Amino acid sequence: MSDPALFEIRDLTIESVREGSRRRIVEGMSLSVRHGEIVGLVGESGSGKSISMMASVGLAAASLDITAGEIAFAGRRFAASDREGLRSNLSHGVSLLFQNAKGALSPFLTAGAQVDRVLAGRMPKAARRREAAELFRVCGLNHADLADKYPHQISGGQAQRVAMACALATEPRLLIADEPTTALDVTTERELLRFLARLCRERDLAIVLIAHNLSLVAEYCSGLTILHAGQIVERGPLASVFAEPLHPYTRGLIAAVPDVDEPHELVPLAGSVWGGRNDIERCRFSHRCAFARPDCEAAVPPLLERAGHEVRCVLYREDAA
Amino acid sequence: MRIPPVLAYVLRRIAISAVVLLGISAVAFSMAYLLPSDPVTSRYPDITNEQRAEMRRQMGLDQPLLVQYARYMQSVFAGEFGRSLGTGNSVGEDLARRIPATLELAVYGILLGTALGIPLGMVAAIRRGRPTDHLLRVVNIAIQSVPAFWLGIVLIFVLFYQLRWVPTPVGRLSPIHSPPPFFIGFYTIDGLVAGKFDVALAAARQLILPVLVLGLGVVSPLARITRAAMGESLGEDYVIFGRALGLGERQVVLGDAFRGALVPIVTTLGFVVGNVLAGAAIVETVFSWPGIGRYAVTAITTSDMAPVSTCILLVASGVALTNLLVDLSYALIDPRIRHGYGK
């Protein structure tokens, strides 16, 4: 693709220090998003999806040590450890959606006031009301009904749409949506994702969709990155990854998702994300992998180009038998 | 006619408080009379038994406890609150003169303590785990471990006796000034209102030391709860989302995180008012402050029962009123609580 990336994370590495012991919770993470594209970031809970995206906008917890990496957005480059610089991207084209929308809205302000205070720095008071009403409309909400309600008085789906209106008030070109539908029921989930996909088309909005559910991503994303224990295990165009999943973890994830059209036996993934040794450089999936060999724990396997996408697994090495 | 839910709540609380206060008055009164000390003996140690019996009869002390209590309550509802053997006045009269003195001390003390404690706690929460936080914790423990009477004496020694920065620490006003005409009973405010700025200034100078002692006692509990509550609310999703929307740090920290921490802070402030009223007895004694604390201490040491009972009742009413205000403030702070009243 000749189209340059709108947003790029390069070699992001994050360590947590707890009681004197260091643990690398994100290792050499990279991600690239083009204008108006939806990319999926998938992995189990604790795989480092949210942390790496929060770090990419300077909002990682202060206790985390960002040891390497570079973030570029719309031509501006920052070291990943430059939280101040990265935070300047927020409200200048990058916005976020959280899993728990009711918790993300201030419990002390009405829905209307939440949107209004985001608009406050951007336009005169007179224009704000009209703009807020327009944002509510875009997000499928009735301003007259909801503007005076507090977050605890509205439903989860409505709260997520109010959060959406807040996010859109910053005129974003990139939206990082961290499992925005997890707290919602299935129908509301579908509605919201369809709505996000439409925004993406109509407003040229790029979206990073963080999810632990592969089937959701399959429907809306064009690119896919799969993270396990802070390592990218496989990434590439969605069609290619789904047509030929290579990494044992990716296969495990797909096997764990029920499919209505082609019913198959559901196989739960064994083990936990952070089991195994943390004191050596290794494939972080080796402790759960049915195909593990001694060389899995000899070094971090490189990302290899195979079948139209990239995979990090020793099974696909040139010299492999 | 429908009564608004908040008003119904207040009325219910006042009714409950009235019952509680009645109970407290009974306990306080009987406690005072069940004590082994005797007001006549402690006042006149050298009289004969016949004289003592005669005096007890005159004071009504020979009557059954229930009759005495009934007589005291009658006097309470008449606004007299019994008669002080020490001053010879009705206790109501004595208290009316002393309450403003204590209130002036308590209000400034709490204001000072709050103005120091809350920002200290906020800074500690924002700088959690960093050197500033550790330093503040040490300062806090130091402040907390100093007893009020000792701090009072040290401050008198250093600031008055050695440095002469403050006037003689006796009473509300040095004898060269006469009290300003009554407005709300605070000499500082009354002086300003009457245009007697020298009196207001003199009163303020007398207040410095006792307010410092009383206020420092408030700093630690408030700083500690503020640090804990802000530490929690700073990690709330709404704070992170506020930042993600590019809202200013002041709006996020002072607007949302502080408001999120305010319910436990106000609750602690409620406890603190009780502590201040109790602490006033010591501070007033050290600084010869003519307030209810010193009045109560004098009454206790001379077995003057009506003032003792009434002071207990007064402090209990103060605490009950504070608790009601604290509960009502929750509704102002948090709309989720406000909307809970109707249910």
pLDDT digits (tens, 9 = 90+) for A260-302: 777 777 777 778 888 777 778 899 998 888 888 888 888 899 9
pLDDT tens digits, B232-273: 999 999 999 999 998 988 999 999 999 999 999 999 999 998
The CATH label, of 1.10.1840.10, 3.40.50.300, 3.40.50.10490, 3.50.40.10, for the domain at A7-93+172-316 is 3.40.50.300
Residues from chain A contacting residue B237 (CB–CB below 8 Å): 98, 100, 103-104
pLDDT tens digits, B97-124: 999 999 999 999 999 999 999 999 999 9
- Chain B nearest CA to A291, separation (Å): 40
pLDDT tens digits, A204-228: 899 999 988 888 788 889 999 999 9
Distance CA A201, CA A223 (A): 16
Q: Pick the range with the lowest mean pLDDT from A160-174, A178-192, B114-128, B198-212.
A: A178-192
Nearest CB partner across the interface for B238, out of A59, A63, A106: A106
Q: Is A145 helix (H, G, I), strand (E, B) or coil?
A: helix
pLDDT tens digits, A255-270: 887 777 777 777 777 7
Distance CA A98, CA A53 (A): 12
Which of B241, B330, B337 to probe the A interface (max A CBs under 10 A)? B241
Tokens matching residue B234? 């700073």
Distance CA B64, CA B237 (A): 64
Percent of chain A residues past pLDDT 70, beyond the cut: 98
Nearest CB partner across the interface for B256, out of A63, A108, A166: A108
Nearest CB partner across the interface for A103, out of B129, B237, B259: B237
Residues from chain A contacting residue B339 (CB–CB below 8 Å): 150, 152-153
Q: Pick the range with the lowest mean pLDDT from A80-94, B5-19, B93-107, B122-136.
A: B5-19
Cα distances from A108 to residues A45, A104, A149, A286, B257, in angstroms, run 30, 12, 11, 47, 10
Residues from chain B contacting residue A163 (CB–CB below 8 Å): 241
Residues from chain B contacting residue A152 (CB–CB below 8 Å): 335-336, 339
The pLDDT value recorded for residue B97 is: 92
Which chain A residue is nearest to residue B335, measuring alpha carbons? A108
Q: Does A95 lie at the interface with B, CB-CB under 8 angstroms?
A: yes
Nearest CB partner across the interface for A96, out of B129, B241, B339: B241
Percent of chain B residues past pLDDT 70, beyond the cut: 99
pLDDT tens digits, B170-191: 899 988 889 999 999 999 999 9
Q: Does A103 lie at the interface with B, CB-CB under 8 angstroms?
A: yes
Which chain A residue is nearest to residue B246, measuring alpha carbons? A91
Contact residues for A97 (Cβ-Cβ < 8 A; gap 6+): A104, A160, A163, A164, A167, A175, A176, A177, A178, A180
Find out whether B94 and B80 touch, Cβ atoms under 8 Å.
Answer: no
Mean pLDDT, residues B267-290? 90
Tokens matching residue A264? 């198959």
Residue B11 has pLDDT above 60, yes or no: yes
A169 burial class (0-12, 13-18, 19+ CB within 10 angstroms)? buried
Q: Does A118 lie at the interface with B, CB-CB under 8 angstroms?
A: yes
Distance CA B143, CA B135 (A): 12
**HSE-up of A162 (CA within 13 Å, CB side)?**
36
Phi and psi (nearest 5°) for B82? Answer: 80, -175
- Chain B nearest CA to A232, separation (Å): 25
CB contact under 8 A, B243 and A104: no
Distance CA B91, CA A177 (A): 68
Domains plus CATH for chain B? 91-301 (1.10.3720.10)
Pick from A302, A230, A223: nearest CA to A8: A223
Pairing between strand A38-42 and A223-228?
Answer: parallel
Q: Domain coordinates of chain A in residue numbers?
A: 7-93+172-316
Distance CA B90, CA B98 (A): 13
CB contact under 8 A, A92 and B240: no
The pLDDT value recorded for residue A1 is: 45
Distance CA B245, CA A162 (A): 13
pLDDT tens digits, A7-55: 999 999 999 987 777 888 999 999 999 999 999 999 888 889 999 999 9
Find out whether B222 and B201 touch, Cβ atoms under 8 Å.
Answer: no
CB contact under 8 A, B242 and A106: yes
